[in-house]
Amino acid sequence: MAAQRIMTFGVVVGNRGFFPDHLAKTGREEIISVLEAAGARAVVLSPEQSKHGAVETYTESQHCAELFKKHADEIDGIIVTLPNFGEERGIVDAIRLSGLKVPVLVQATPDRSDAMTIATRRDSFCGKMSACNNLMQYGIPYSLTTLHTESLTSAEFKADLEWFSAVCRIVKGLKNLRIGAIGARPTAFNTVRYSERLLETSGITVETIDLSEIFGRINRMKDSDDAAQAKLAAIKAYVSTVGIAEEALVKMAKLGAVIDGWMKQAHIGISAVQCWTSMEEYFGVVPCTIMSMMSNELIPSACEVDVPGVLSMYMMALASGTPSALLDWNNNYGSHPDKCVCFHCSNLPKHFFNDVRMDYQEIIAGTVGKLNTFGTCVGRVKSGAMSFARYSTDDRRGVIRGYTGAGRFTDDPLDTFGGAGVAEIPQLQKLLRYICREGFEHHVAANFSDVSKAVHEAARYMGWESHYHPELED
């Protein structure tokens, strides 16, 4: 799996002259130190470029904007830090003039009750409201810290910085995203219909390819082709293939090599695949292992051409830096109202299992024959923290909307096939009622992490409607 990349933040240090401006000097030094300690980079004015490297006047806003423009391709988000009240006009002008469309976090440093003299009082508590009011007036979306005022060196800000970094990774990762739709939607699945046009309004493009073209490219590829042999070796290294015919493994390898080649050629970031039943009837394997391998490498791949599903997977993978899976909200778990069985056939990434093996797809084997359905990744989903998300296109209203929340996978006993786990979700019955009332799909993306609040916030920056389960305090 890919390592989490270094985050880069544009920093606007607020200052207002008739408040103690020495606080701007120490505030700038402190935010740089905190970001460096977190492994992040700061793009911020130097004391030579403005008074104390802060922003107050319009000229200083221009200098800050020019600096941000020079680093526009690197900057993931903007942090506004208020070591004193801050000049709200200078802050918003700097952001507007930069032209950056990235998440903005507003932090205000708290006063000390024993240091409230004219020489030491910050008034950031009040200044934050003015800054946010101006951001609202300028139409600049922004995020807030957990506490209204919190020290840059506090545990709260450390957690907020991690959360905001995840928000920024999602928003940046979705910019100009190209999703590959491989094959047609299975006829029986109206539930995975979606609008390419609505996705395009968010800068997300869907590139399609027919299964006939995939099969045609496979037919032209020799078994001895370097790409096919490399993929075959990767499959055998990835999952136990005991009892699987070599012929089936070679077919999987060629399928994977062709998909890899097409995605690279077409600059595709993530994919959704027509996994049944044409694949099994006319090619003779399921694509599950190939898809599992992609998802495990943070290149999510969803079954049943569920393009919004893979988009939801990708949002959580961007946030956490760990693989996501697409699951069905599939079964009740006995009489437990807050537990359910999450399942797929499966193409779950190996990251989701303690132990996994390759097997055949039991559900459709009765229709197309067992020998045509080898390639599933079978195992029990391990226990651990869980985030879930589902964002979809609502064509009737012309919006993209969805929901997200947190729970956990448990060790509760479960004897079944495919890839399955027991999930425990607080107020699950309320969530299920929401899903059914709002007409959402039975597919949900899941991730072993606690990034649901970052996903919720990122959706807001994308202009999407987002429901957090259960409701956030705000």
Burial of 352 (C-beta count, 10 Å sphere; 0-12/13-18/19+): buried
Domains of the chain: 8-174 (3.40.50.10940), 178-469 (3.40.275.10)
Angle, in degrees to the nearest 10, between helices 124-137 and 88-98: 40
Nearest to 31 by CA among 10, 47, 16, 48: 10
Q: pTM of the full predicted structure?
A: 0.96
SS3 158: helix
Alpha helices in 57-195, H assignment, sequence order = 58-70, 88-98, 124-137, 155-174
pLDDT at 180: 98
pLDDT at res. 2: 53
Q: What is the per-residue pLDDT across 91-134, written as a single tens digit (0 to 9) for each?
A: 999 999 999 999 999 999 999 888 888 788 899 999 999 999 99
Write out pLDDT tens, residues 345-356.
999 999 999 999
* Residue pair 391/308 in contact by the 8 Å Cβ criterion: yes
Give the residue carrying structure tokens 């990349």: 5
Coil vs helix vs strand at 440: coil
pLDDT tens digits along 444-469 = 999 999 999 999 999 999 999 999 99
Question: Which pLDDT belongs to residue 121?
Answer: 87
Amino acid 474: pLDDT: 56
Chunked into runs of 10 residues, the chain (474 residues) has average pLDDT values of: 80 88 94 98 97 97 98 98 96 98 98 84 95 98 98 98 98 98 92 97 98 97 98 98 96 98 98 93 95 98 97 98 98 98 96 95 84 94 98 97 98 96 98 98 98 98 97 70
Tokens standing for residue 42: 């700061």
Name residues whose C-beta falls within 8 Å of residue 450's C-beta, 6 or more positions apart in sequence: 385, 387, 406
User: pLDDT tens across 254-304, in order?
Assistant: 999 999 999 999 999 999 999 888 999 999 999 999 999 999 999 999 999
Q: Where are the alpha helices (DSSP H) in 273-373?
A: 278-282, 288-296, 307-320, 362-368
Which among 258, 349, 343 has a CA at the least distance from the CA of 301?
Answer: 349
